């Protein structure tokens, strides 16, 4: 028998420090525009393009291999799409989602896809409580004139999941799960800080200013960037950082993590019932 969600939350909070919608943080913080004070959005090469609306293999993102699709995979894909359409369509009204505990994460930061994450459901997924009708996160696009458009959901699997275990949740013949890997955090920032959304943590106050001076930028701009983005202002660190190996990370006094957060998958069932659209690595 599976433990209750209340028990799951208590266990997770005590053992791994996983609080408010940690997986959403990985996407949303990685998607921040870190070009300085004048940036306005995400470019095709920015982290938000790679991790939010479009996901690609790289040093910081590991993805499962797409295996040959079987008839059983096709049947399961149609079941997943039908279930999500039936049970999640109510969240096209984002206020219903918020009433059910889904909260927007970093809604003011320009992104392709925004996560409305539910803390308790996310913790449950991390502990193996997988339920298509109750995803850890809902995925929205921001409407130009205000409000939100529901486009899909994000499901999570435990960090130590094997491909066979992920396949039982959502088949590897139709979709690709992904994980955030090879992450270097600066001294004073812990894995728990990242999981809790504390991006400034105890970062040395001179990091961004030193980089600004070395690149000929004014310290005032560096201070503004650091205040907004914390350690993410330093391009060496985080989910889109230039450091990708433990040796590089150790050399700058950082702490290296082979993987942060669990396995994740985005599913977009509302625009099309075609599995190639619903399980694409690109948002519709």
231: in domain = yes
The pLDDT, as a whole number, for residue 197 is 65
Q: Which of 56, 140, 131 is nearest to 98 (CA)?
A: 140
164 & 231 share domain: no
Show the tokens assigned to 135.
């995803």
Answer yes or no: do 171 and 241 share one domain.
Answer: no
In a domain, 66, yes or no: no
- pTM for the structure as a whole: 0.75
Quick check: is 76 in a domain? Answer: no
Q: Which domain holds residue 227?
A: 182-259
35 and 160 both lie in a single domain: yes
Q: Are strands 255-267 and 137-142 parallel, antiparallel or unpaired?
A: unpaired
18 with 131, same domain: the answer is yes
Is 166 found in the same domain as 209?
no
The answer to whether position 214 is within a domain reads: yes
- Looking at the structure, do residues 19 and 47 belong to the same domain, yes or no? yes
> Domain check: are 99 and 27 in the same one?
yes
Position 65 scores a pLDDT of 93
Per-residue pLDDT of the chain (284 residues; tens, 9 = 90+): 444 444 344 334 333 344 444 444 444 444 333 333 333 333 333 333 334 456 677 889 999 999 999 999 999 999 999 999 999 999 999 999 999 999 998 787 788 899 999 999 999 999 999 999 999 999 999 999 989 999 999 999 999 999 999 999 999 999 999 999 999 999 888 888 887 666 665 554 444 444 444 444 444 444 443 444 566 778 899 888 999 999 999 999 999 999 988 999 999 999 999 999 999 999 88
Q: For 92-110, write each residue's pLDDT tens digit.
A: 999 999 999 999 987 877 8
Identify whether 267 is part of a domain: yes
Is residue 136 one of the residues assigned to a domain? yes
Condensed to tens digits (0 to 9), the pLDDT of residues 156-176 reads 999 999 999 999 999 999 999
The answer on 24 and 130 residing in a single domain is yes
DSSP code for 115: E
Q: What is the pLDDT of residue 100?
A: 98
Q: Is 55 exposed, middle or buried (0-12, 13-18, 19+ CB in 10 A)?
A: buried
Does 15 lie in the same domain as 133?
Answer: yes
Q: Write down the pLDDT at residue 107.
A: 80
Phi, psi of 254 (to 5 degrees): -90, 180
Q: Residue 185 and residue 243: Cα distance in Å, rounded?
A: 9
Q: Are 7 and 88 in contact (CB under 8 A)?
A: no
**Total domains, the chain:** 2
Judge whether 64 lies within some domain.
no
Whether residues 37 and 96 share a domain: the answer is yes
In a domain, 63, yes or no: no
Q: Are 119 and 53 members of one domain?
A: yes
Same domain, 37 and 124: yes
């Amino acid at each position: 028998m599976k433990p209750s969600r209340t028990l799951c939350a208590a266990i997770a909070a005590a053992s791994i420090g996983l609080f408010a919608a940690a997986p959403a943080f990985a996407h949303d913080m990685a998607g921040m525009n870190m070009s300085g004070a004048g940036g306005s959005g995400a470019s095709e090469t920015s982290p938000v393009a790679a991790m939010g609306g479009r996901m690609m293999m790289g040093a910081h993102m590991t993805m499962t291999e797409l295996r040959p699709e079987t008839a059983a995979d096709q049947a399961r894909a149609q079941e997943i799409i039908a279930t999500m359409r039936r049970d999640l369509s109510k969240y096209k009204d984002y206020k219903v989602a918020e009433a059910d505990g889904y909260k927007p994460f970093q809604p003011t930061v320009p992104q392709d896809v925004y996560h409305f994450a539910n803390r308790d459901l996310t913790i449950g997924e991390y502990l193996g409580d997988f339920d298509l009708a109750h995803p850890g996160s809902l995925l929205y696009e921001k409407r130009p004139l205000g409000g939100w458009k529901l486009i899909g959901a994000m499901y999570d699997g435990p960090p130590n999941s094997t491909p066979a275990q992920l396949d039982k949740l959502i088949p590897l013949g139709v979709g690709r799960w992904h994980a955030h890997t090879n992450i270097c955090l600066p001294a004073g920032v812990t894995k728990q800080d990242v999981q809790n959304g504390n991006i400034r943590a105890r970062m040395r106050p001179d990091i961004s200013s030193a980089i600004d001076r070395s690149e000929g930028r004014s310290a005032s701009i560096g201070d503004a960037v650091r205040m907004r983005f914390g350690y993410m202002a330093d391009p060496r660190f985080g989910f889109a950082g230039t450091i990708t190996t433990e040796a590089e990370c150790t050399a700058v006094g950082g702490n290296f993590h082979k993987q942060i957060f669990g396995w994740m998958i985005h599913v977009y069932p509302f625009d099309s019932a075609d599995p190639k659209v619903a399980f694409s690595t690109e948002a519709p």
